[in-house]
Structure 1
Amino acid sequence: MSLTSHDTETRGKNTYNFDEFVSRRESLDWYSDEPFLQKAVKKYTGAQFDQIHEKILAFSPRVSLKWNQLAERNARPEVRPYMLHYDAFNHRIDRIVRPLEVQQLENEVFGEGLFSSKMPPWESFVKRMLTHQIGEGGVTCPLTCTHGLIALLDQFPNPEIPQLQEILLHTKEGLNGEFTIGAQFMTEIQGGSDLPANVLEAVPDGKNFRLYGNKFFCSAAHADYSVVTAKISGSNKVSTFIVPAWLPGDKEKEKRNGYQINRIKWKLGTAELPTAEIQYNGALAYPIGPKDKGIAVAVGIVLTLSRLEIGIACAGFMLRASREANLYGDFRTVFGKKVKEYPLAASKLRKIKNAAKRTTAGAFKIYDLFLRLEKSLNPGINSDHPLEVRKQLFVLRELVLLQKICATNEGAEVLREAISVFAGHGVMEEFSALPRIFRDVVVNEQWEGPRNLLLTQIYRDLQRVADWYSPSDFVRDVLIGVPHETIAKFSDQLENLLQRPVLGEVSEASMKAAEEWDTYCDSFFKTYQEVALAEIE
């Protein structure tokens, strides 16, 4: 009996496809289809809700579909940034070559004017949280750095250097529809977060300075302006400077402002973002802020905003992970049942969803405190504010640090769990954005102070303020609304830990104390997030 052509065509053919899942995923609106996020917005925006809600509803489809598609294209290895050091005529240009899609995405994201005085802070906050859901994408790190640059220029106006006001207008409000981009270059080869160890030299040149030396981790190396820390010649104090990438008229000629980009680094995540090593050979730099307080200025303003933004990013990452894992769990059938119908998978999906909601709630609550505290940046622990204000500023300072270390740590765990819901497809880069976002959150965990450094900082901060802010009062003020027994437990634990050798010489006792301190901070901050979640729900 012979086979017909029809038999030949159909034999062995598998008709299974993912079209339904892909269609449902692409039709999702990351705001209108996220009821919890809308509830959070409603709670915190109050009388502004209707206006902001409408703005976000109009914004969300763009980021959910178009910007997400651009970010996916930018993520392919063959289009990652690379250096072109010379043009055809042997001129040193140090051009960072990036795909057109990332430039289009950058123009659209920055074109929103997210830090403009015309945009209400909560509208900017929610738009940024949604934008973070595309992953870093080559745009959200520069966006965060630009925020720090703007805050720095806002806080320290200097009419003697008119260029600073021009830079502020160009980055904050835009000129002729164009917004310029900021970066922060602080790390040197001998120490990342150890800014006092900086040796980059700033040589006076009239009212301005010239920079000489090397910076070793320079993300957003393509930026128009950068915040750079350096030591003025003959001084041991770190100062802060604004450095233009090009002087007027030189951008078109690709003639950089007295520096060279040695190479672009190859890193685990945020691969679409050019992170470079830079050699300064007399770059013109504008001083900003008190010359002997560069560390306080850089950390108190620029790094604080970056750390705050990382918490917002983690909330966005987790919301997306939860949404897509749940969608796939409802689509995929294994051994005759949907993935979500298995108890192990269902418990994992619930855990991911709860973490996403808790992290989002905490990010909203911290940002609300940030907005309510006037001039909340760079006050220092021993500022001149009244005692109660100093306490609130201190609470904000520690919450920003706690959120940064806890949200990034849990973010990596949540992304890994979400990937596992997809099984083998979870690690396929073209199937899901989650592997890329997982790598981004791991990078965020290291940027702006890794976990051990910030755990040390929190511990030292609490010791420094003990004479005017007791550990028990601090716990009570952070955990308002928590049962008295829980507050008493955390207070007793903190009192005890502050007497232990957490920062002492290495021994069995000090290592045990350090481990308990790590666990304590995680548990304490999650309790704060639970309070924030209960307030929304």
Structure 2
Amino acid sequence: MSFPDRNNPYNFDEYLQWRESVDYYADDPFIQKVVKHFTGPEWQIVDREARSVSRKASFRWRKMADDIACPEKRPYMVHYDGHKHRIDRIVRPVETQIMEKEIFSEGIFSSSTSPWVKLVKMYIIYQNGEACVACPLTCTEGMVEILKKNAGTEETRQILRHCREGIDGDFAIGAQYLSEIQGGSDVPANVLEAVQEEGQWRLYGGKFFCSATHADYAMVTAKPVGSEKVALFVVPSWLPGNKEKEIRNGYTIDRIKWKMGTSELTTAELTFNGALAYQVGPLERGLANVVGVVLTYSRLTVGLSAAGFMTRATREAKKYVEFREAFGSKISQFPLVAGQLQKIDRLTKQTVAGAFKVYHQFLQLEEELRGGLAGDDSGKRRQFDIRELIMLQKIAASWDCTDVIRLAMSLFGGHGVMEDFSALPRLYRDSAVNELWEGPRNVLLMQIFRDLQRAAGWYRPGDFVANILKGSEESVIEKFQAEISQLLACSQSRADEHSMEIYQRWDNFCQDLFHQYQLNALNEVERSL
């Protein structure tokens, strides 16, 4: 019974007390099982490191991430100082700078940090959303990996040391500037010029979508004058001694983008006017290195960050429906609510398991991924499998992430869209950006389609399906094999009704194919207990 009471005593304190005290790793038996299954002999070390970083991410960094999400704390630009000197200062909240320094000081990319420790730390940190940390971490990882193989000068070796091991306790942050106004994901369409002047490379032109603009260094694609080949360069944001003077390295930050998500992260339009740049790898291998190394790690991380976002959203929704009462019952008792919760819980778990399985297979490669598809040996097939799995994970996990968080928000009722009630609206907006970052869905779907058609002469599509779905029932594998054979028999054509139907089926097929891969990974984890 409910009678009038002008002093309504209802509050959310019980739920909030739980939320403030939950430890992302220590209180999550499922991720502990995933870690134990996939990390093998390293499990105890990884587990110990995960518990350590989780105590920071779950409390101190979570609070900072929530605080800096307020609209009034969005980064903004100061282009000139009071004396009309061009400084292009990015003003960010002090909490952002403190949290960023603490996280990078973990030495996540250090030579002393194992790949599994790195992965688990990043997964835990990503549960706090973008928070001006997720993208910089990903970009720095890509920079470290490419420079490990291509730091051929003292300058590039110094940049690698700064990013990987830190210098005097300061760990550098990396960025990647690939997109231009005319191309977006079409990196071969880049027209930014690289010119050799007095034995040094200088860059001229514009980049249109540059995230982590506050970084110390950026990987930048450009074309040497007279060449149609995309080359890769690393560009310091400041030359030695100029950071304190706020004199940037031959480029201007024209404006900060106004994005719907990842709002704490600066994304900007840049104009290069003679920026000093250091060549990374052979000039003609720039595009291959971007795709084979930089984008590989970025796309891997999109899958991992999606798993982190989903984990937090599902955990908080699960607890809320156990706390909240309506119409005389806990809302977790309503069949529709219970079914929705079951759905997002399952999707989340298979996404987490799938991300760890993809990474496990990635670590087993004997050499780095390459852009080409020539060759027919078993090692090349494994390379091909991982290349396609990384793209499949990117499109499936980022898509599912948005769906899961939207459904999780609905379980909070009207509170679900309140920015000051929970982090879920922020995670939802961040997840929408993840769908587009490092190649939108349509681009990657067509890349996978072309890859499989081009490789068919030495790697039959049916064999590809059988290999990535190893462990599935034979009838399941045969169903996917029949479907992929039909779809790949169609040639790429114009947007007529038949082609649109084929590519819609292809879209659904790729989503279902990777879901089956994820379910296999989840079954592995569950069977290992």
TM range (shorter): over 0.9
Q: Does 1:155 align with 2:145?
A: no
Contact 1:244 1:285 in 2 (8 A): yes
User: In the TM superposition, what is the alpha-carbon distance from 1:507 to its structure 2 partner?
Assistant: 1.0
Q: Does 1:108 align with 2:98?
A: no
Q: Does 1:32 align with 2:26?
A: yes
Q: 2:171 matched to which residue of 1?
A: 179
Aligned pair partner of 1:402 in 385, 392, 401: 392
Q: 1:532 matched to which residue of 2?
A: 521
User: In the TM superposition, what is the alpha-carbon distance from 1:500 to its structure 2 partner?
Assistant: 1.9
Contact 1:43 1:536 in 2 (8 A): yes
Q: Deviations over 1:185-235 (max 9, x none)?
A: 011100101111111000013443100100000000010000000010111
* Percentage of pairs with the same residue: 52
Q: 1:257 matched to which residue of 2?
A: 249
Letter in 2 for 1:198: N
Q: Does 1:143 align with 2:133?
A: no
Distance 1:206 1:489 in 2: 61
Distance 2:50 2:397 in 1: 24
Distance 1:494 1:275 in 2: 38
Q: Deviations over 1:289-325 (max 9, x none)?
A: 1101211111111111101000000111111111000
Distance 1:182 1:527 in 2: 35
User: In the TM superposition, what is the alpha-carbon distance from 1:157 to its structure 2 partner?
Assistant: 2.6
Contact 1:270 1:443 in 2 (8 A): yes
Aligned pair partner of 1:248 in 203, 220, 240: 240
Distance 1:43 1:536 in 2: 6
Aligned pair partner of 2:433 in 443, 454, 463: 443
Is the partner of 1:292 in helix, strand or coil?
Answer: helix
Q: Does 1:483 align with 2:477?
A: no
After TM superposition, list the pairs within 5 Å mapping 1:181-330 onto structure 2.
181-330=173-322
Distance 1:163 1:289 in 2: 13
Q: 1:7 matched to which residue of 2?
A: none
Q: CA RMSD in A?
A: 1.1
User: In the TM superposition, what is the alpha-carbon distance from 1:478 to its structure 2 partner?
Assistant: 0.5
Distance 1:536 1:132 in 2: 22
User: In the TM superposition, what is the alpha-carbon distance from 1:379 to its structure 2 partner?
Assistant: 5.4
Runs of 4+ in 1 over 3 A off after TM superposition: none
Distance 2:381 2:11 in 1: 57
Q: Deviations over 1:353-396 (max 9, x none)?
A: 1011000000000000111112233353226xx71000000000
Letter in 2 for 1:526: H
Contact 2:202 2:276 in 1 (8 A): yes
Contact 1:332 1:338 in 2 (8 A): yes
Distance 1:327 1:228 in 2: 44
Q: Deviations over 1:250-299 (max 9, x none)?
A: 00100000000000010110000000000001000001111012111111
Q: 1:428 matched to which residue of 2?
A: 418
User: In the TM superposition, what is the alpha-carbon distance from 1:496 to its structure 2 partner?
Assistant: 0.7
Distance 2:105 2:370 in 1: 28
Contact 1:181 1:224 in 2 (8 A): yes
Is the partner of 2:40 in helix, strand or coil?
Answer: helix
Contact 2:292 2:368 in 1 (8 A): no
Aligned pair partner of 1:455 in 445, 457, 460: 445
Letter in 1 for 2:331: V
Contact 1:182 1:226 in 2 (8 A): yes
Contact 2:215 2:237 in 1 (8 A): yes
Letter in 1 for 2:440: P
Q: 1:3 matched to which residue of 2?
A: none
TM (norm. structure 2) is: 0.98
Contact 1:370 1:376 in 2 (8 A): no
Letter in 1 for 2:506: W
Distance 2:322 2:387 in 1: 41
Distance 1:208 1:374 in 2: 35
After TM superposition, list the pairs within 5 Å mapping 1:9-88 onto structure 2.
12-88=6-82
Letter in 2 for 1:515: Q
Q: 1:511 matched to which residue of 2?
A: 500
Distance 1:227 1:51 in 2: 32
Contact 2:86 2:247 in 1 (8 A): yes
Distance 1:105 1:203 in 2: 38
Alignment length (residue pairs): 523
User: In the TM superposition, what is the alpha-carbon distance from 1:44 to its structure 2 partner?
Assistant: 1.2
Is the partner of 1:213 in helix, strand or coil?
Answer: strand
Distance 1:51 1:497 in 2: 45
Distance 2:59 2:368 in 1: 35
Is the partner of 2:524 in helix, strand or coil?
Answer: helix
TM (norm. structure 1) is: 0.96
Q: Which runs of 5+ in 2 are unaligned?
A: none
Q: Deviations over 1:63-88 (max 9, x none)?
A: 01110100001100001000000111
Distance 1:504 1:347 in 2: 41
Aligned pair partner of 1:363 in 355, 380, 385: 355
Letter in 2 for 1:516: R
Contact 2:218 2:235 in 1 (8 A): yes
Q: Deviations over 1:116-154 (max 9, x none)?
A: 111111111111001000000011101100001111101
